[in-house]
A and B are shown apart, each in its own frame.
Chain A
């Protein structure tokens, strides 16, 4: 049984106009029919450009946004739009690590009490101070720094505080939303190693969101690519055999730290269209170098089993555009 099963998940945000008489003039189609499963103990990487809906999807899963339609099943239990009270036990199992280690920690509270928060909220009995110091030790922080403020820590150390807080309740699933993108390269590797060690030790499942494709490739067992609220492609060996032209373009556009790497960049035309009025048919068709008439008319379905893709004219394996 998969740990998480999302079926046809839709999240629209209303666009309002007018100051006194607010009326809804449109919908931001942030997540528009996503079906995704997370297996126990795996890391599912989720990549996509700004505004593709990857963070919204994560927040729906964490219960931070009510969903417009669709179903989320967590560990065999339907958790779609549960009440706050009913959601509470689920929150113990699903935790988040955020991007910004500066914005996600209250600067006026001591680190020990920040990490202890989940234990207090969920009324976990036992010696909290010891529990927190064990957690600090585990994530590579000095337990004696229990009484310090977040400002006394560097960016990498703050991210460790965020990890300790997420770990406090021994969750099953941790959603990592760009956990290392604010960190310097040398520190980034420290945090990625830590996340890997914790996964091995506690059997954690990760939903790992990042825009850095090399980082995602390093940590993920399977990788899903999102474009304008939909899954374009999902596969374990996505980088070796991309089938969707968008994946192909995204991979070719990624700057690799190797001067001799073969560079055949596919430069896409224009920008990502507005999610308020997504294009007809395949959402990628206005920018797709392979688009034909059918692409504008009919929306491709997500096909395939272990390697899923939604494209009428997939890139042939080994072939080029």
Chain B
């Protein structure tokens, strides 16, 4: 049984402009010790979905199931969720400066977390554990730095302190929401290294939410790509990068500089803009930006279905046939044939559409 099993999650926010459908049917599961990366651009619902599960979206309408060790998190009271957060499931946010209280010492903040969740712990024990944790995440001279305030730490050290806090109560699952986005490359490498090491050491499941496909390529076991609140593709890491099926996944990879090996030349962006979540396009939400869009794409929403092959866990929500998998020429021919597009007409139309929409 998976540690966390999310089924058909829907999250929406009523606003004066209309109902914002942030998550529209998301299912995924994470096993102990594994890393699931949820990838998507701004507004794809990647952050909202995990926040909703953890009870951090008070104004949202939520439906679906989120079984954590067999218990449905969506049925728990706020108080029960509060006991769970931090202890069983902890969260690392993007910006460590706003997640730490500026007026309390780092060590106090870690000790406080331990004391709140563990009635048997004394203040002295909690402080010692805080020092131990700071040492574990690589803060030099932890016994001294434990009495520092957040502003006395650098960005990388603050993120280390956040990780120390996330580890404080030996959680089974850590949700890391863009944990390295605010950090420089050399510090990002340190932090990813640290998270990976601790995860292996303590057998923690990790949900990594990010837009950075470089980070995903580095650490994920499984990757879930989201677009406009729905999962569009799910597979192991290598399959996502080398044999993507969904045109959106393919488009993301192709718009990266350096990934196609084409230096100096032009990049291949996805034309247009992500849709509004108040008026989501009919059928497949990606169809207005998709170069292979067929009549069925705007009429009917494709299910997240298994892609034929020897990979049982590769699923994609696209009407293109399952042979149209991968980045090679053969797959491209199939895609163009099925969608009835000529290669040249495609690029023409793409540039026109790019201009009109952009």
Contact = CB atoms under 8 A, between A and B. Distances in A.
Contacts of A292: none
Contact of A250 (B186, B193, B215, B252): B186
A187 B356 contact: no
A155 B41 CA distance: 12
Interface in A180-230: 184-190, 192-193, 196, 211, 213-215, 217-219
Contacts of A186: 41, 251-252, 255, 269-270
Contacts of A271: 154, 156-157, 187
Interface stretch (B18-26, B206-214, B305-313): B206-214
B292 interface: no
Given A184-B42, A185-B255, A255-B215, A160 B269 contact: no
B155 A50 contact: yes
A2 B157 CA distance: 42
Q: Which residue among A190, A219, A256, A268 has the maximum number of chain B CB atoms within 10 Å of its CB?
A: A190
B273 interface: yes
B141 interface: no
A281 interface: no
B155 A253 contact: no
Contacts of A185: 41, 211, 213, 252, 255-256
B124 interface: no
Given A257-B259, A261-B217, A187 B185 contact: no
Contact of B258 (A155, A184, A217): A217
Interface string B192-221: 110000000000000000011111111000
Contacts of A280: none
Main secondary structure of the interface of B (DSSP, over half): helix
Interface in A144-183: 154-157, 160
B241 A255 contact: no
A256 B258 contact: yes
Interface residues of B, number: 50
B203 to A, nearest CB: 22
A267 interface: yes
A279 interface: no
Contacts of A142: 356
Q: Which residue among B154, B258, B268 has the maximum number of chain A CB atoms within 10 Å of its CB?
A: B258
A156 B272 CA distance: 10
A143 B55 CA distance: 44
B355 interface: yes
Contact of B273 (A187, A218, A263): A187
Contacts of B213: 185, 257
B257 A260 contact: no
Interface residues of A, number: 46
A249 interface: yes
Nearest to B356: A142
A193 B189 CA distance: 29
A133 B291 CA distance: 29
A318 B186 CA distance: 22
Nearest to B251: A186
B281 interface: no
A113 to B, nearest CB: 21
Given A196-B266, A263-B218, A271-B187, A140 B358 contact: yes
Given A185-B41, A259-B241, A190 B256 contact: no
Contacts of B269: 186-190, 193
A218 B257 contact: yes
B142 interface: no
A189 B259 CA distance: 12
A104 interface: no
Interface of A: 49-50, 140-142, 154-157, 160, 184-190, 192-193, 196, 211, 213-215, 217-219, 249-250, 252-261, 263, 265, 267-268, 270-272
22 contacts: A50-B184, A141-B358, A185-B213, A185-B252, A186-B270, A217-B263, A218-B257, A218-B263, A218-B267, A252-B189, A253-B186, A255-B185, A255-B192, A255-B212, A255-B214, A255-B217, A256-B214, A257-B217, A257-B256, A259-B238, A267-B193, A270-B140
